[in-house]
Amino acid sequence: MKRDLGNLAAADLGQITEGEDMGPEWDDNPWVRSVTDKGKRVSRVHVLTSPLTDYLRYELAAYPGNIKAGESIGLIDLAEQAVEGLSDHDFWLFHDRDLYRMHYTEGDAFLGGELLPADRLAEYRGYRERALCAAVPFAAYWERHR
């Protein structure tokens, strides 16, 4: 999936494509920290297909700061493993009860989330469980693909 690079500072993207880190402002994600400091759990599984684009490298380079702040991040690379029964779109599940489907433009710019009805929770909990079971820890993936 191609991401819109228009919102990225060229210097930031250049840092990542040259193998540099994101810089100190990315060392500990303040939003994630504000949630985990309250004892809440933040986790994600990022489903992607390698080879990694410059944008994906840029996006993934921010994950160590999220992990330091307490987020659990796993990856599924569909070029490395076939995983059946995953959703074909992004979604967020808050408190195991509030379900949002993410929407993007053709250029892959984020438009927002659509609240889905509670009767879809079981379906999306299934997607989540399959993704969590198949995911590779971020650090292991990043070591191989950075």
Q: What is the pLDDT of residue 24?
A: 60
Instruction: Evaluate the CA torsion angle 82, 65, 22, 110 in order and state its sign.
Output: positive
- Mean pLDDT of all residues in 46-67: 88
Joined together, the tokens standing for residue 65 give: 């700061």
The per-residue pLDDT for range 114-140, each reduced to its tens digit, is: 999 999 999 999 999 999 999 999 999
Among residues 72, 76, 63, the alpha carbon closest in space to that of 21 is found at 63
**pTM score, two decimals?**
0.77
Among residues 58, 51, 61, 65, the alpha carbon closest in space to that of 9 is found at 58
Whole-angstrom distance, CA of residue 102 vs CA of residue 112: 6
**DSSP E strand boundaries for 34-143:** 43-48, 72-77, 91-94, 98-104, 110-115, 136-137
> Helix %, strand %, coil % for the chain, to 5?
40, 20, 40
